[in-house]
């Protein structure tokens, strides 16, 4: 054997060992970090190692006569391992840049393609030993062409990818250089195959390729190092981002808002801009969480943040201050712009949310103030916007702008909150009971429980003087639960003392009626005080029913099935229609006092009340007239067929001690 071939064979063997070792190194790396691209590159190096080994054997056998079959098999190996090396290299690049995995099917097809190509090419020349040209084309030019195309494809791919670490650029340079080298070679080989110098060049290229492959293996290692560093940097950035942003919505969190707002204010001062600081609070978001689950609630909050973020008003700050409240700051020079922004924000929130097959509708309350008109400090502006928001929420208005004086109202409310909570704890709230008279039987129909506050300093307070504060402070739920419990206690007491099962009607507010826990609470109370459900009646206003008709309907049906009656309070003052009420399984309609007041002196009021009674009866509902103060009113109501009455003429609301005569007399 000539020295040259032996020398080649030795070099190929050394290379084969080096690539094999590097493949093992990558395997360890893949096992440790589990990155997919490392797996493909490991396979690529492994294929290269096989390729070099086949070349080493091939060089050894150049001058040894072996059978055609053996030659074909060896050539097949040489080609297949080279194609496989290329494909695995490209797969690795794809995974590394796209961060996606490659489907098993694609891998399978690529494998089959490499196999078919190498087998076909080898068979075409393998048995035709005299066809020197074909042999050269199929053995050298074709693989070079495939390698060139593959590497240039990689260049194109890397160029368009978003990976920008330094090693990616070196890699691209390598692929470009080698890609061009292969393509050029494949074309030149067809034209210059007979030239002597070309033969010399081919010899030199063998050594150059050895160096290039080795370089490639090291480039892979450098890439991996660069990629890991950039992953670490991304992770650090993400951690920093999360520290500053609300992880749920990506909006700024409270601290960041407090950091950023002063900067925006300073800029606005320089540019003499007016800033509008909007605070948005989602109405009844708790209801969304309770109904659709926290996960849906979270997704909706994320969606809100991204809608705000994409706003055409180009917000300077978007933050989530707490649960369902967001801050939105824009540069809004004049009133017209502010009004447009308000409308825009309401529209943004009102657009339906389609989350996991649910279509959720939301509304928000907005409170806002202006820089520099209402304040120049970030903290001050947020506080003032918050006061405006509190007012918007308590008065159920969509938007409120901050006005001077709101602050003192806010302070008063704060003091009030403590007093009211103390009042609950110390049982300062007491129930008065107003009898309801059944006009058919002339007997007691039941009592309406009406709350009073026995204030330690201010004496007995009527609901009108404290209910607005309770509403502003969102304490209605607490009040209703308190009254429900006191009413149940009273029913139980009378049951024991007088052996009478008296019905007590309790006023329930909208908030409480929409609370999914209401039914559970009532069941617990009935069980705890051992009272029959028919002794409890709930009074709700028509507006409760109308704003959330489906929920209200469900709740009323459940209550009715439990045996608890529901009546509509203050009928005629809200915005419902009897046609709607027909669908609801309610028991009684309570005509508001304002209609009864002049029923005796005003013909049109009498006509209205009369038609209300007839219509209600037509729908199968009973009718109670509220605020009956005179005998004349009572007579008229009796004549037009009213079922029951309640009012000062029968009795004012009385404390429990004064009820004895009603409870002892049948
Ligand atoms: P409402 O449920 O319509 O209660 C009837 C109100 O009319 C009571 O006023 C009652 O004292 C008054 N009233 C009854 N008969 C007459 C009459 O012949 N003439 C006049 N001028 N007034 C009469 P009150 O107790 O001040 O309650 C006012 C409102 O406060 C109630 O209206 C109800 O909406 C609310 N409220 C009272 N107690 C509670 C309670 O325990 N919980 C809740 N959530 N709301 C309550
Ligand atoms: Mg009532
Ligand atoms: Mg009423």
Give the number of the atom of ligand 1 that is nearest the alpha carbon of residue 462: 26
In a domain, 490, yes or no: yes
Q: Whose CA is nearest to atom 37 of ligand 1?
A: 450
Dihedral of the alpha carbons of 647, 648, 651, 652, in degrees to the nearest 10: 100
Based on the domain organization, do 490 and 351 belong to the same domain?
no
φ, ψ of residue 63 to 5 degrees: the values are -100, 10
Based on the domain organization, do 80 and 185 belong to the same domain?
yes
Based on the domain organization, do 485 and 444 belong to the same domain?
yes
Based on the domain organization, do 134 and 165 belong to the same domain?
yes
| pLDDT digits 0-9 by tens, 7-16 | 888 888 998 9
Helices and strands (DSSP H and E) totals, the chain? 25, 17
User: 185 and 209 in contact (C-beta within 8 Å)?
Assistant: no
- What Rg, from alpha-carbon coordinates, does the chain have? 42
Based on the domain organization, do 100 and 219 belong to the same domain?
yes
User: 342 and 399 in contact (C-beta within 8 Å)?
Assistant: yes
Percentage of the chain with pLDDT > 70?
93
CA of 448 to the centre of ligand 2 (A): 7
Based on the domain organization, do 213 and 146 belong to the same domain?
yes
Q: What is the CATH number of the domain that holds 112?
A: 1.20.1070
Closest CA to 122 of 64, 58, 201: 58
Based on the domain organization, do 203 and 275 belong to the same domain?
no
Domain limit, last residue, from 217, 241, 265: 241
> Is 596 a residue whose pLDDT tops 60?
yes
Q: Whose CA is nearest to atom 43 of ligand 1?
A: 507
Measured CA distances, 611 to 578, 599, 638 (Å): 11, 13, 14
Name the token pair of 543.
């507006």
DSSP letter (8 states) at residue 398:
S
Please work out whether the CB of residue 594 comes within 6 Å of at least one atom of ligand 1.
Answer: no
In a domain, 471, yes or no: yes
Q: What is the CATH number of the domain that holds 288?
A: 3.30.70.270
pLDDT confidence of residue 166: 77
Q: Which long-range contacts (CB under 8 A, 24 or more apart) does 556-564 make?
A: 556/584, 556/585, 556/586, 557/585, 558/519, 559/519, 559/522, 560/585, 560/587, 562/519, 562/522, 562/523, 562/533, 563/532, 563/533, 563/534, 564/522, 564/533, 564/534, 564/536, 564/537, 564/538
The rounded mean pLDDT for the chain is 87
φ, ψ of residue 483 to 5 degrees: the values are -65, -40
Based on the domain organization, do 138 and 269 belong to the same domain?
no
Give the integer Cα–Cα distance in Å for 7 and 160: 42
Q: How many domains are there within the chain?
A: 3
pLDDT confidence of residue 365: 94
pLDDT band at 242 (very low <50, low <70, confident <90, very high): low
Based on the domain organization, do 397 and 431 belong to the same domain?
no
pLDDT band at 566 (very low <50, low <70, confident <90, very high): very high
In a domain, 246, yes or no: no
Please work out whether the CB of residue 509 comes within 6 Å of at least one atom of ligand 1.
Answer: yes
In a domain, 642, yes or no: yes
Please work out whether the CB of residue 569 comes within 6 Å of at least one atom of ligand 1.
Answer: yes
| pLDDT digits 0-9 by tens, 375-397 | 999 999 999 999 999 888 877 78
Q: What is the CATH number of the domain that holds 521?
A: 3.20.20.450
In a domain, 488, yes or no: yes
pLDDT confidence of residue 71: 78
Q: Whose CA is nearest to atom 4 of ligand 1?
A: 450
pLDDT confidence of residue 539: 94
Give the integer Cα–Cα distance in Å for 574 and 543: 6
The distance from CA 582 to its chain's CA centroid, rounded to whole angstroms, is 38
pLDDT confidence of residue 240: 64
Residue 523: how many other CB atoms lie within 10 Å = 14
In a domain, 235, yes or no: yes
Domain limit, last residue, from 199, 216, 241: 241
CA of 329 to the centre of ligand 2 (A): 43
Based on the domain organization, do 141 and 259 belong to the same domain?
no
What string of DSSP letters covers 117-147? HHHHHHHHHHT-TT-HHHHHIIIIIHHHHHH
Closest CA to 291 of 363, 396, 361: 361
Ligand 1 pocket mutation, candidates 434, 463, 574, criterion most atoms within 8 A of CB: 463
DSSP letter (8 states) at residue 572:
T
Based on the domain organization, do 358 and 433 belong to the same domain?
no
Structural domain boundaries, residue 370: 254-404
Length of the chain: 666
Domain limit, last residue, from 186, 206, 241: 241
User: 318 and 251 in contact (C-beta within 8 Å)?
Assistant: yes
Based on the domain organization, do 260 and 308 belong to the same domain?
yes
CA angle, corner 391, sides to 507 and 287, nearest 5?
55
pLDDT confidence of residue 307: 92
pLDDT confidence of residue 535: 96
């Amino acid at each position: 054997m000539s020295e040259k071939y032996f020398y080649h064979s030795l070099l190929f063997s050394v290379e084969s060992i080096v690539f094999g070792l590097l493949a093992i190194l990558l395997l360890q790396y893949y096992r440790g970090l589990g990155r997919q691209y490392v797996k493909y590159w490991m396979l690529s190096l492994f294929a290269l190692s096989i390729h070099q080994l086949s070349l080493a054997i091939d060089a050894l056998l150049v001058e040894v006569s072996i059978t055609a079959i053996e030659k074909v098999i060896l050539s097949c190996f040489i080609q297949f391992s080279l194609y496989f090396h290329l494909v695995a290299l490209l797969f690795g690049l794809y995974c590394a840049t796209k961060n996606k995995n490659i489907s098993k099917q694609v891998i399978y097809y690529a494998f089959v393609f490499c196999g078919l190509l190498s087998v076909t090419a080898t068979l075409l020349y393998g048995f035709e030993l005299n066809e020197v040209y074909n042999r050269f084309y199929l053995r050298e030019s074709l693989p070079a062409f495939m390698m060139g195309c593959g590497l240039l494809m990689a260049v194109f791919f890397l160029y368009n990818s978003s990976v920008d670490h330094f090693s990616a650029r070196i890699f691209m340079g390598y692929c470009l250089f080698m890609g061009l080298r292969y393509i050029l070679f494949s074309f030149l080989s067809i034209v210059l195959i007979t030239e002597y110098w070309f033969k010399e060049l081919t010899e030199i290229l063998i050594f150059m390729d050895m160096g290039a492959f080795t370089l490639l293996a090291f480039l892979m290692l450098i890439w991996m190092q660069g990629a890991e560093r950039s992953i670490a940097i991304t992770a650090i950035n993400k951690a920093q981002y999360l520290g500053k942003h609300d992880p749920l919505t990506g909006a700024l969190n409270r601290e960041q808002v407090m950091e950023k707002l002063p900067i925006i204010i300073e800029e606005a001062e320089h540019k003499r801009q007016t800033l509008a600081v909007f605070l948005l609070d989602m109405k009844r978001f708790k209801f969304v969480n309770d109904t659709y689950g926290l996960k849906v609630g979270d997704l909706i909050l994320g969606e809100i943040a991204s809608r705000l973020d994409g706003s055409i008003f180009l917000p300077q700050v978007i933050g989530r201050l707490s649960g369902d409240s967001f801050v939105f700051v824009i540069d809004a020079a004049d009133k017209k712009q502010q009004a447009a922004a308000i409308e825009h924000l309401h529209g943004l929130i009102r657009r339906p949310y389609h989350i996991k097959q649910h279509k959720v509708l939301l509304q928000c309350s907005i409170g806002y103030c202006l820089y520099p008109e209402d304040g120049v400090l970030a903290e001050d502006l947020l506080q003032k916007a918050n006061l405006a928001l509190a007012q918007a929420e308590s008065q159920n208005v969509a938007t409120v702008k901050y006005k001077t004086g709101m602050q003192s109202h806010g302070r008063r409310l704060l003091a009030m909150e403590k007093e009211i909570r103390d009042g609950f704890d110390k049982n300062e709230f007491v129930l008065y009971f107003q009898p309801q008279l059944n006009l058919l039987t002339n007997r007691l129909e039941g009592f309406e429980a009406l709350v009073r506050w026995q204030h330690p300093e201010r004496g007995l307070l009527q609901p009108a003087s404290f209910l607005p504060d309770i509403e502003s402070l969102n304490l209605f739920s607490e009040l209703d639960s308190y009254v429900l419990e006191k009413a149940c206690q009273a029913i139980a007491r009378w049951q024991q003392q007088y052996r009478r099962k008296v019905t007590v009607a309790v006023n329930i507010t909208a908030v409480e009626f929409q609370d999914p826990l209401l039914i559970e609470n009532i069941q617990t109370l009935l069980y705890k005080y051992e009272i029959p459900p028919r002794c409890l009646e709930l009074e709700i206003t028509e507006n409760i029913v109308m704003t959330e008709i489906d929920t209200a309907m469900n709740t009323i049906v459940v209550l009715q099935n439990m045996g608890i009656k529901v009546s509509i309070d203050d009928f005629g003052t809200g915005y419902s229609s009897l046609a709607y009420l027909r669908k609801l399984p309610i028991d009684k309609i309570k005509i508001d006092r304002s209609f009864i007041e002049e029923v005796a002196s005003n013909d049109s009021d009498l006509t209205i009340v009369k038609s209300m009674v007839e219509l209600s009866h037509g729908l199968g509902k009973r009718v109670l007239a509220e605020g009956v103060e005179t005998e004349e009113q009572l007579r008229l109501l009796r004549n037009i067929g009213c079922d029951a009455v309640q009012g000062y003429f029968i009795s004012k609301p009385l404390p429990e001690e004064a009820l004895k005569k009603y409870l002892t007399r049948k």
